[in-house]
């Protein structure tokens, strides 16, 4: 009879944990060549080494135990090709998902760096491209908990609850802006970026925007809104849309309130 190896020896030879080998036995994937009637110790022969090598290889490809059992029962080349083809599709989907996550991380890093290097309370005219968004029309006041409308937005559109960092913005209507009513927001929106798979419900138009960044959150925004409106009046700029307010650095990133940065931008055109 071939030389027999204890489960401990097999574990060391293949660098596989003993509980894993026991599990393979329990589910019928790799039965020992012999089990001692008295001690119940498991022993394996060299004939089982090839099967264990195949199991290890297929597990490294992340195939399920049931799929591997199915392969051994069929022992057919076409079945192996089918299994590997299915697994390849899953891997490609995982790669795509990771690439999307990577793009999100890059976007967050770029946003934080940009916010940290901002000159606060400086009014700037900038050109922005069209931006896809998911919008929720719901009134909101700075004294309210913003997590409730965020949850409403997420549930309404089936959004991933973990994607909101730095991407949630408040909308202050043009009407309220011109009336000086800076404490009543008219909506909430999620700014979509490369890597997001959600379907947009609207867009922020491309064009010229007047932008200001300030220290604090929406609770401190009134002064900056006044500055924007005054600047437009003094420089023949017409506000042609709603103001968009975004927290670039807030409690989601740091507990240091002194580092909070919020941005407001309004679409404008130059009056001749």
Map out the domains of the chain as residue ranges: 4-75, 115-270
Under 8 Å CB-to-CB from 266, ≥6 apart: which residues? 177, 209, 210, 228, 232, 239, 241, 242, 243, 244
Among 3.90.180.10, 3.30.70.20, 1.10.1660.10, 3.40.50.150, name the CATH number for the domain at 4-75. Answer: 1.10.1660.10
User: Token pair for residue 178?
Assistant: 């011109």
Buried b (16+ CB within 10 A) or exposed e, 176-211: bbeeeebbebbbbbbbbbebbeeeeeeebeeeebbb
Q: What is the pLDDT of residue 161?
A: 53
SS3 for 184-244 is CECEEEEECCCCCCCCCCEEECCEEEEEEEEECCHHHCHHHHHHHHHHHHHCCEEECCCEE
**pTM for this model (two decimals):** 0.66
Confidence of residue 162 (pLDDT cuts 50, 70, 90): low
List pLDDT tens digits, range 126-150.
Answer: 999 998 888 888 787 777 777 777 7
List pLDDT tens digits, range 240-270.
Answer: 999 999 988 887 778 888 889 999 999 999 8
User: Token pair for residue 233?
Assistant: 């009046």
Top CATH class of 115-270 equals alpha beta
């Amino acid at each position: 009879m071939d030389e027999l190896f204890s489960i401990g020896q097999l574990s060391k030879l293949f660098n596989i944990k003993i509980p894993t080998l026991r599990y393979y036995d329990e589910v019928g994937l790799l039965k020992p060549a012999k089990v001692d009637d008295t001690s119940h110790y498991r022993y394996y022969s060299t004939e089982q080494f090839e099967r264990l090598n195949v199991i290890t290889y297929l597990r490294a490809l992340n195939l399920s135990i049931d799929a591997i059992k199915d392969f051994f029962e069929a022992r057919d080349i076409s079945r192996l090709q089918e299994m590997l083809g299915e697994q390849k599709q899953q891997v490609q989907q995982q790669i795509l998902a990771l690439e999307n996550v990577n793009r999100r991380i890059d976007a967050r890093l770029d946003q934080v760096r940009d916010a940290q290097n901002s000159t606060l309370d400086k009014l700037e005219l900038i050109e922005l491209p069209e931006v896809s968004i998911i919008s929720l029309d719901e009134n909101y006041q700075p004294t309210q908990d913003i997590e409730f409308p965020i949850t409403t937005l997420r549930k309404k559109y089936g959004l991933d609850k973990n994607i909101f960092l730095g991407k949630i913005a408040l909308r202050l209507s043009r009407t309220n802006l011109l009336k000086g009513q800076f404490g009543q927001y008219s909506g909430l929106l999620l700014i979509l970026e490369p890597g997001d798979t959600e379907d947009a419900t609207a867009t922020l138009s491309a064009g010229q925007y007047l932008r200001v960044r300030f220290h604090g959150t929406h609770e401190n925004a009134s002064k900056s809104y006044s500055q924007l409106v005054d600047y437009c009046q003094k420089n023949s700029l017409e506000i042609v849309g709603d103001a968009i307010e975004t927290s670039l650095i807030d409690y989601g990133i740091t507990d240091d309130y002194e580092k909070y940065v919020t941005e407001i931008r309004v679409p404008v055109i130059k009056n001749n």
